[in-house]
Structure formats: structure tokens, C-alpha cells
């Protein structure tokens, strides 16, 4: 049996403007961002589901004291006794896909109250709701555990890098350094105009796709260029080869992809930076990690811009890289490959857990 949310809940909105938030307070201040800020007062104290009414349209379960931005919907049980709030959270976490389709507006999309009150939720009895929540919570916990394992493995790599080479900014081990531009070509691509983009053809990567590849994720290209246009472009600029480095221009987290495919693709000028023709004295994987450490340690001095700090070619060329003997580089790269084997096992388990969770969500909520 399906019931409209408006018959089971009371829905109100937050009151404070986001500008009132302060990072020094005691209670969460929920906005349309994924993470709550902190403020020093609160307006609510309840078990509820919070839905960001615009922007990212994310969903969060909360039970306690909080305040909320005026475009945050606060959804609570209306006292009917038929709805288990954690069950509502899982429903809305699935239904947010539909809310995104229903959102309206220009640059910033938003949802209307009616999008929530008219939503229909499958409503078994409370005991069954609780049983479903237990199953979904355990499944989600497994996913979070696998994600944490991957995070720990990444931290292990960082720790090993620091142990072997030290901090790139401080250089406590006194390594000789060399500018990136002196050991490689640092550039971008030839401009591809919007009217040149196609629905099929050679994949065209933006910073988003390159960043995902750097994280080891599979991607589904959305943009393409015609093969004949691709041939013209690579005749002018060359093409990325295995071992080249690509990175989004907005890259504070050091998401750098070592190209690992011979399949043809091209990429967006300016928004993706290209390090290629790398000196044979440098292993690309070692270069990735020393460059990543350098960028993350001192991004503010390397990047520039007001709204979004971007890496610029001239600054990237000047980045100082540890000039480490090749045999030492190879030791580090060998360690990386061993860790990557472990990461592949964990990632496979994570993918399976996510697939199970998605299947359960589909089974319970359609």
C-alpha cells in the first residue's frame, strides 16, 4: 500500500540565512551543502529527515539539536504512528533521484513543497519497516567499511612516500630538485568548440572525467568529437600516450591520472593540464606522487583565481620535483603496485556491496 508523505508527516523549512552560520558553534547548521556547518544556537530538536531544497538536493537523517537554512525541508512524523523515520530516510535517499527530475529553476535548481507532500511511499507496518531499515543499515555499513579500507590504503601510500622522501615543500631529506618544466612538456590541448561536440565518436574528456579516472573510477563519456576532427587535432598537438599525466586545472586534492590506455580520446583545453614527453630519468608513477604531494602541500601558492583557484601552466612548469635516483623511485613504485593489488580486492568487494545495496533499495522502494 502506498501513501502520500503529506498524510504521514509534517514538513517545515529552516529559518536562518546561511550567512548567519559560524564555524565555532555547538550545533549543526544544515544548508544545501553535503556537510553541516556549526552555529551557536539551535531552533530544532527532533528526529527527522532533512532534504536540501535546492542545490545538491541531498538527504540526511538526523536526531538531535540543529538549525537549518531556510531552503532546507525538515520532515517529521505527524504523530500518526505509522511511519518509522529511519525508513523514511532510506525512501527519500532513493526518491531524491526523482526529486532532481522534478526540480525547477535556472542555474540553481530547487524543489517545491508539493514535490515532497505528493510523493508516495510504500507503507508496510512498523515492524516490517524496522526490519527493512536493519537490512539496509547493515548493507550501508559494509559499503562504508570498504570505503574506509580504501582510504586507509591511500593513507598508507602517503605515509610510505613521506617515509622515503619526506615532505615535498620542506624537503627535510635535502633531495636535489628540478622544475617540472625542465623534465617534461607541460601544456594542454587544442581548443574544441561546443559546435564540434558530437553524440558519438572519439571520447572527449573534461576535468570531471579526468578526475574520476585519477580516482580509479570507471567513466561513461558523455561528449565526443568526430574521428576526422580528432585526427586533425592530434596532428597539431600530438595525443596522450601511456605514462603521460593528466589533471583537472582545479586540483587541490591532487587528482592526477597516469594515462593507462591506448584507446583514442581527446580533452578540454585549459581545464585539463597535460604533462608529457617525460624524461626517462623519472618514473611516471613516482612523478605523479611527488607532484601530487607538492600540489596538495602548497596549492594556494601554485594555483590562482578568485572564485575557483586553478593550476596555471606557468606555475605548474615551475613546480619543484625531487630528483631521486631511479632505483629508489622503482622501490616506491613497487610498493604502490602491491598496495594497488589490495585496493583492487577491496574495490571489487565495495562494488559488490554497492550493487547489493542498490538492488535492495530497488526491491523496497521501486
Q: What is the DSSP string of 163-177?
A: HHH--TTT-TT---E
Q: What ranges do the domains of the chain cover?
A: 2-123, 128-152+325-366, 176-323
Lowest mean pLDDT across 31-40, 223-232, 245-254: 31-40
pLDDT exceeds 80 at position 326: yes
Give which of 308, 294, 290, 321 is closest to 207, Cα–Cα: 308
Q: What is the pLDDT of residue 41?
A: 59
Q: What is the pLDDT of residue 246?
A: 96
Q: How sure is the predictor about 46, in pLDDT bands with cuts at 50, 70 and 90?
A: confident
In CATH, 176-323 is 3.40.50.720: no
Looking at per-residue pLDDT, the higher value among 240 and 19 belongs to 240
Q: How sure is the predictor about 44, in pLDDT bands with cuts at 50, 70 and 90?
A: confident
* DSSP bridge pairs for 27: 39
Which superfamily, per CATH, for 2-123?
A: DNA methylase specificity domains (3.90.220.20)
Cell of 252: 587541490
Q: What is the pLDDT of residue 27?
A: 64
Question: Mean pLDDT, to the nearest integer, of 215-234?
Answer: 94
pLDDT tens by residue, 280-296: 999 999 999 999 888 88
DSSP H or E run through 333? helix 326-365
Cβ proximity of 276 and 239 under 8 Å: no
- The span from the CA of 236 to the CA of 217, in Å, is 30
Q: What is the pLDDT of residue 350?
A: 96
Residue with cell 542555474: 107
pLDDT exceeds 70 at position 31: no
Cβ proximity of 67 and 29 under 8 Å: yes
Q: What is the pLDDT of residue 100?
A: 87
Q: How sure is the predictor about 307, in pLDDT bands with cuts at 50, 70 and 90?
A: low
Q: What is the pLDDT of residue 243?
A: 96
pLDDT exceeds 90 at position 42: no
Domains 2-123 and 176-323 share a fold: yes
Q: What 3-state class would DSSP assign to 121?
A: strand
- The span from the CA of 88 to the CA of 99, in Å, is 15
Q: Cα–Cα distances in Å, from 60 out to 32, 229, 301, 337?
A: 11, 46, 36, 37
- The span from the CA of 309 to the CA of 180, in Å, is 20
Distance from the first to the final alpha carbon of the chain: 13
pLDDT tens by residue, 122-156: 999 999 999 999 999 999 999 999 999 999 999 99
Amino acid at each position: 500500500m502506498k501513501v502520500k508523505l503529506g498524510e504521514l508527516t509534517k514538513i517545515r523549512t529552516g529559518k536562518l540565512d546561511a550567512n548567519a552560520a559560524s564555524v565555532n558553534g555547538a550545533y549543526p547548521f544544515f544548508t544545501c551543502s553535503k556537510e553541516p556547518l556549526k552555529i551557536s544556537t539551535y531552533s530544532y530538536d527532533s528526529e527527522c529527515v532533512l532534504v536540501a531544497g535546492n542545490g545538491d538536493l541531498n538527504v540526511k537523517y538526523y536526531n538531535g539539536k540543529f538549525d537549518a537554512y531556510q531552503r532546507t525541508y525538515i520532515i517529521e512524523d505527524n504523530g500518526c504512528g505509522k511511519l518509522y523515520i529511519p525508513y523514511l530516510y532510506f525512501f527519500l535517499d532513493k526518491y531524491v533521484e526523482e526529486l532532481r527530475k522534478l526540480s525547477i529553476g535556472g542555474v540553481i535548481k530547487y524543489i517545491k513543497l508539493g514535490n515532497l507532500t505528493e510523493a508516495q511511499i510504500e507503507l508496510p507496518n512498523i515492524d516490517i519497516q524496522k526490519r527493512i531499515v536493519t537490512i539496509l543499515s547493515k548493507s550501508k555499513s559494509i559499503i562504508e567499511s570498504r570505503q574506509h579500507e580504501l582510504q586507509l590504503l591511500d593513507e598508507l601510500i602517503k605515509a610510505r612516500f613521506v617515509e622515503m622522501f619526506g615532505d615535498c615543500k620542506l624537503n627535510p631529506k635535502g633531495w636535489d630538485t628540478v622544475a617540472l618544466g625542465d623534465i617534461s612538456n607541460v601544456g594542454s590541448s587544442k581548443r574544441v568548440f561546443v559546435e564540434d561536440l558530437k553524440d558519438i565518436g572519439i571520447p572527449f574528456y573534461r576535468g570531471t572525467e579526468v578526475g574520476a579516472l585519477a580516482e580509479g573510477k570507471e567513466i561513461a563519456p558523455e561528449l565526443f568529437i568526430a574521428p576526422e576532427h580528432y585526427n586533425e587535432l592530434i596532428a597539431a598537438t600530438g595525443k596522450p600516450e601511456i605514462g603521460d599525466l593528466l589533471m583537472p586545472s582545479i586540483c587541490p586534492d591532487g587528482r592526477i591520472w597516469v594515462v593507462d590506455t591506448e584507446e583514442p580520446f581527446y580533452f578540454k583545453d585549459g581545464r585539463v593540464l597535460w604533462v608529457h614527453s617525460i624524461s626517462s630519468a623519472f618514473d611516471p608513477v613516482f612523478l605523479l606522487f611527488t607532484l601530487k604531494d607538492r600540489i596538495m602541500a602548497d596549492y594556494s601558492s601554485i594555483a590562482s583565481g578568485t572564485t575557483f583557484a586553478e593550476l596555471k601552466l606557468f606555475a605548474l612548469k615551475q613546480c619543484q620535483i625531487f630528483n631521486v635516483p631511479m632505483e629508489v623511485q622503482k622501490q616506491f613504485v613497487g610498493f604502490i603496485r602491491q598496495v594497488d593489488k589490495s585496493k583492487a580486492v577491496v574495490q571489487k568487494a565495495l562494488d559488490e556491496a554497492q550493487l547489493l545495496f542498490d538492488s535492495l533499495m530497488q526491491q523496497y522502494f521501486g
